[in-house]
Amino acid sequence: MIPLRDTIPSRTVPFVNTSLIVLCVGAFLLELLQGEQVDDFIQTFAFVPLRFFQPGLYEGWTFGANLVTVFTAMFLHGGFLHLGGNMLYLWIFGDNVEDALGHFRYLVFYLGSGVLATLSQAVLTASSNVPNLGASGAIAGVLGAYLLLYPRARIVTLVPLFILFPLVEVPAALYLIFWFVLQFWSGSAALLSAHQGAAGGVAWWAHIGGFVSGLMLVSLLRPKRRPAPAYRQL
């Protein structure tokens, strides 16, 4: 199922969400410009769990330098499909979460979700020297927030059925819960793999950690609504 749009229009201009998309696309273009040096570029700016927990094993790396990569890794991607899929989800769901939180709180929320998502994956793969990169963890936080804020929204979804491609409006709660269950199932299967942490792949637990973090952070950061007055103004 491929989401195309939701049914809730933005009430404000989502300039933070749009800026995040522009930064991710810009960072990917910068990757492409590296040519044969792209691997070195990725090693420098992506997040490496083993390097984070044991920086002494890597010459010239400190804990502070590794901490910076927790943030820079959020804007890197491993290919056009990786980038396109992430930006599609961010474009569909991010604007409404920014509406609910406000611009500054949304930025704090997005970065916080990304950090917690990265650390969730890192704790389970602490001995891995495979670079972790992508906005998926932060975007998973956006999905968690959307589920809490707009469970009754509808997601216009393209459903490939052999030679047919019908558009179906799926309830947001159903779509996002199904997405989370799929991530949890895949993440559990990955942990059972004997080679997990020794090879690349999808950071499923960053998705799971990001989603749960989004549920928690949106509750903390959402502006408190003023209670309705107990009297009528004339």
Residue 233 lies in a domain: no
Instruction: Tell me the mean pLDDT in the region 93-98.
Output: 96
Q: What is the pLDDT of residue 224?
A: 75
For residue 156, the cross-strand partners are 5, 169
**Number of neighbouring beta carbons within 10 Å of residue 179:** 18
Model confidence pLDDT, tens digit, residues 2-47: 899 999 988 899 999 999 999 999 999 999 999 999 999 999 999 9
Say if residue 227's pLDDT is above 70.
no
Q: Which residue has the higher pLDDT, 94 or 163?
A: 94
Residue 209 lies in a domain: yes
Domain that holds residue 131: 2-195+204-221
End-to-end CA distance of the chain: 52
Residue 37 lies in a domain: yes
Q: Determine the Cα–Cα distance for residues 155 and 106; give it in Å rounded to an integer.
A: 21
Which pair of tokens denotes residue 91?
A: 């474009």
Model confidence pLDDT, tens digit, residues 134-176: 999 999 999 999 999 999 999 999 888 777 788 899 999 999 9
Residue 64 lies in a domain: yes
Residue 72 lies in a domain: yes
Burial 98-135 (b: 16+ CB within 10 A, else e): bbbbbeebbbebbbbbbbbbbbbbbebbeebebbbbbb
Residue 230 lies in a domain: no
Residue 170 lies in a domain: yes
Tell me the CATH number at 159: 1.20.1540.10
Q: What is the pLDDT of residue 166?
A: 84
Residue 20 lies in a domain: yes
Which pair of tokens denotes residue 38?
A: 């792209």
Say if residue 225's pLDDT is above 70.
no
Which pair of tokens denotes residue 175?
A: 């779509």
Domain count, the chain: 1
Instruction: Tell me the mean pLDDT in the region 171-200.
Output: 79
